[in-house]
Amino acid sequence: MDFSFVFSEWRVLLIGTYHTILVSAISLVLGFVLGLLVCLLRLSSHRALVEIGRFYISFFRGVPLLVQLLLIFYMLPLIGVNISSIGAAIVGVSVVAAAYQAEILRGGFQAIPHGQVEAARMMGLSSRRIFARILLPQALQRVTPSLVNDAILLLKSSSLISVVGVLDLTRASQNIAASSLRPMEAYLDAAIIYLFLTALLSIAGRSLERQLALAGGLAR
């Protein structure tokens, strides 16, 4: 094995890593916002809204991400939306991430004892305040470990955007493998960088969990 050529290609790997982190981070945030909305639909008292939420979660969790990306990548231009491949990738990863995060958040909300909401209502708090001050903070604290786990899965699944032509870390290593004719070393590089990124996320997640436990004193 000879890794020397890798150092001459470090620029490509860097761009790839940057795009992987960029798409993952934006999709995580967009997915969270959209996921919170879907979760609220799912938990609402209106029957039709519940069904819409249920349909969304079922469809976007049921269809493989690769198929989803191909669908979005070819469908958007057909319905008149022209965005770059990186834009399509962000849309694809976000809508799927939202479905997973909605389910995680739902678990968090449902774990909160209903007596707390009743008590708050007795004290005359508005529904908005109950949501923002009582439900959301507790739900977030409970679901943090799952959200970090989901972020790791998202980072890994972002590798599929290489199939629709985004120069992410996977695509960069493919390009290096093709130009250097050394696939073993090129893909090992990508694997090591992914491993590093996922390890970093799980370490960050663990310390975040500790801090939350300290701050909130959440009884286990």
Site residues for other proteins per CB under 8 A? 58-59, 61-68, 70-71, 74-75, 78-79, 156-160, 162-163, 170, 173-174, 177, 182-188, 190-191, 194-195, 198-199
Give me the least distance between CB of 214 and other proteins, in Å please.
26
Phi, psi torsion values for 156, nearest 5 degrees: -70, -45
Is the CB of 67 or the CB of 218 nearer to other proteins? 67
Give me the least distance between CB of 178 and other proteins, in Å please.
10
Is the CB of 111 or the CB of 191 nearer to other proteins? 191
Is the CB of 138 or the CB of 173 nearer to other proteins? 173
Is the CB of 135 or the CB of 193 nearer to other proteins? 193
Place of tokens 């050394």: 182
Cβ atoms 42, 106 nearer than 8 A? yes
d(CA 202, CA 208): 10
Give me the least distance between CB of 46 and other proteins, in Å please.
24
**Helix pair 10-43, 136-157: axis angle to 10 deg:** 140
Give me the least distance between CB of 49 and other proteins, in Å please.
21
Give me the least distance between CB of 63 and other proteins, in Å please.
4
Buried b (16+ CB within 10 A) or exposed e, 41-64: bbbeeeeeeeeebeebbeebeeee
d(CA 162, CA 160): 5
Nearest 5 degrees, angle CA 92-CA 203-CA 21?
30
Is the CB of 138 or the CB of 162 nearer to other proteins? 162
Is the CB of 71 or the CB of 119 nearer to other proteins? 71
d(CA 191, CA 142): 31
- Nearest alpha carbon to residue 162 among 15, 7, 39, 38: 15
Give me the least distance between CB of 130 and other proteins, in Å please.
32
Place of tokens 């909305």: 37
